Amino acid sequence: MFFTPGLFILFDKVILPRFEQKSNDRESDSIDEKGTVIIAGGGRFGQVVNRFLVSNHVKTVVLDHQADQVDSLRQINTKSYFGDATRPDLLHTAGIEHAAMLVVAIDNQENSVELVKYVKHTYPKVKVLARAYDRGHSYMLRCAGADFIESETTRSALEMGAEAMRGLGQHPFHVEQQKIAYKKVENQSSDKLYQAWLDDSEGERFDNNYRKLFIELESTIKHAMSKDRSDKHNQSERAWTPPPKGYADDLDE
């Protein structure tokens, strides 16, 4: 047991990188098809996007720079190609000139930003959707020109928070309203926070002005959460009435 932590470190730092380097030591695949959507990155995020699109009859081309990842995808009948999506020649072969969209879901944050910047500069008509790890990464992607950015954890974390509230006895209708209020405040504040990061942080750090705005955002969210519900009942009431007919349709909008 004394040596166990050291063995894990040895595996992560020495053995695994050597294995990955050996598995990647092969020529990029020849891409023999074109897709309406090119997906850069065949990891867990890119796989979900790909499955959803393919199940809706959208033609995709999946690229991944990890050979073992590509091989794993092929074992479950998911067609993908081994190659670095940040290479202009590979993008050209995949048909980026005629693609309607590029989904950027690669792990390396710096490379993902550079890929977005290159595609939006070279192929401005291609719509770029990108996965972000955190706020800083999302700002860099936005600055690079991404048309749509989705945080890797925001939606799932919000759903987990909602499930926690339901598990604590909160009425599902109230939970849905709180989710809407939370997202509304976040969306209203996003441009202001991005501008503060762009103007004052020089794209490298979060300065005092940004921190101040972020703290204000947290305060605004708490205030929105504490307001009475739109049906004018107080949140402390336990005698909940059923939600109005068709309320789910309004929530979806």
pLDDT tens per residue across span 44-87: 888 889 889 988 999 988 888 776 666 666 666 566 777 788 99
Mean pLDDT of 108-132: 95
Residue 233 reports pLDDT greater than 50: no
What's the CATH number of domain 12-152, 3.90.550.10, 3.40.50.720, 3.30.70.260, 3.60.110.10? 3.40.50.720
Element (H, E) at 64: strand 60-64
Estimate the crossing angle of helix 16-23 against helix 67-75, to 10 degrees: 70
Q: How is the chain split into domains, by residue range?
A: 12-152, 155-252
d(CA 80, CA 67): 10
d(CA 137, CA 127): 19
Mean pLDDT of 27-32: 58
For the entire predicted model, the pTM comes to: 0.68
Return the pLDDT at 232. Answer: 44
Estimate the crossing angle of helix 109-122 against helix 135-144, to 10 degrees: 20
Return the pLDDT at 27. Answer: 58
Q: Are 73 and 66 in contact (CB under 8 A)?
A: no
d(CA 22, CA 19): 5
∠ at Cα 210 (224, 154), nearest 5°?
Answer: 55
Mean pLDDT of 121-147: 93
Return the pLDDT at 122. Answer: 96
Share of the chain above pLDDT 90, in %: 29
Residue 106 reports pLDDT greater than 50: yes
Confidence of residue 244 (pLDDT cuts 50, 70, 90): low
